[in-house]
Amino acid sequence: MTSRRVAIGVAILAIAAAPWLLGTPYWRGILVLGAMNVLLALSLNLVIGYTGQLNLGQSAFFGIGAYVSTILIKTYGWNFWLAGLAAVLAAGLLGLALAAFAVRLRGHYLAIASLGFAVITYQVLLNWEDVTEGVRGIYGILPPVPSTAGLFYVVAGIALAVYLLLDNLIRSPIGDTLRAIREDEVSAASLGINRAVWKAFAFGLGAAIAGLAGVFYPGFVGTLVPDAFGIIESFTMMAMVIVGGMGTMIGPVIGAIVLTFLPELLRGFGELRLMIYGLALMLVVLFMPGGMVQAWNALRRRMS
C-alpha cells in the first residue's frame, strides 16, 4: 500500500514539475496532448486490455466528447464544465450502444463492427453540417483555462484521478469480473456473470473517459474539424495501449507518453517519420507483445 502512495506522490510531483521542466509554449502544448492521450489510452485499455473486447472504434467517443461540448458552448452558450459533463454523458451513452454489438459479437466481428461504428460517427459529424459545420470547421474555441500550463494541470489532474479510479476498479471484484470475461466468456457465464451488463459497463465507462479527453481537445487546438476523429485516431490509441503494455494499468500511460513525444522527437527525420512509426509498431507487436511493461519486467528480472 505504501509503495502505491509513494508512486502517487511521485506522479503528482512529476505532473507539477513538468510544465516548468518543459517550459516553452510548444512543449507545454505537447504535455497537454500527452495528458489527453493518457486518458484515451486508459479508456481503450479498460475495454480491450481488461475486458478483452476488440474495440477499434474508440475515436468515435473522442469525437462525440469534442463536438457535443463545443456545440453546447458555442451554439447554446453553455458553461464549459456543464457542457463537458453533458458531452461525457453523451459519449458514455454512445458507448452503451456499441456495447449492444459487443454482447452479440466477438473477435474480428466486433472489431469490424466497432470500426463501422467509428466510420458512421465520423460521417455524421462530417455530414450533419447544420449542427457541426462539417468540413468548414468551428473556429475560435477557447480553452477553459487561458494558460497552457494551467490546461495541462487540469487535464493531467483529471488523468491521474481517472487512473486511480480505474486502478481501484481493477483491484476490486469488478476487475475480476471483467478479467473473467476476457479470459473465457463461456466459463464466466457459467459462473453466473451477467456478461451483457459488465460489457455495457466497460464500454460505457471507456467511452465516457474518451469523451472526457475529447472535451479538452477543441480548446487546446482552437479549431475543430471532423478529420481529427477518423479511424486513424483509433489505430493511434490502439498503438499506445499495445506499445505500452496491454492489460496493465501503467502500460497505457507509458505508451501514451512515448507515442506523444516520439513523433515530435522524430521530426528531424522528415519523410521517414511515419515509416519509422509503422516499423516500430510492427517490431513491438512481433518481439515485445507485452509492450514496454513486459520489456521493463524482463529487464528487472535479468538484473536481479
| CA-closest candidate to residue 248, choices 99, 76, 49 | 49
Do the beta carbons of residue 143 and residue 151 sit within 8 Å?
A: yes
Rounded to whole angstroms, the Cα distance separating 249 from 243 reads 13
The residue (of 66 and 71) whose beta carbon lies closer to another protein is 66
Using the minimum distance from each CB to another protein, give the nearer residue, 121 or 177: 121
Q: How far is the CB of 257 from another protein (least distance, A)?
A: 16
Nearer to another protein, 200 or 225 (CB): 225
Torsion-angle region of 48 (φ positive above 0: left; ψ -120 to 50: alpha; else: beta) = alpha
Which three cell numbers, joined as nine digits, stand for 165?
Answer: 479510479
CB of 110 to another protein, least distance (A): 9
Q: How far is the CB of 47 from another protein (least distance, A)?
A: 12
Q: Cα dihedral angle (152, 218, 220, 269), rounded to 10 degrees?
A: 110
Q: At what angle do helices 231-244 and 59-76 cross, to 10 degrees?
A: 120
Residues binding another protein (CB under 8 A): 24-27, 29-30, 33, 48, 54, 101, 104-109, 111-113, 115-117, 119-120, 123-124, 126-127, 134-137, 139-140, 221-225, 227-228, 231, 235, 238-239, 242, 246, 264, 267, 270-275, 277-283, 285-286, 289
Between residues 53 and 177, which has the closer beta carbon with respect to another protein?
Answer: 53
> Is the Cβ of residue 265 or residue 299 nearer to another protein in the bound state?
265
Phi-psi region of 291 (alpha: psi -120 to 50; beta: other; left: phi over 0): left
CB of 233 to another protein, least distance (A): 10
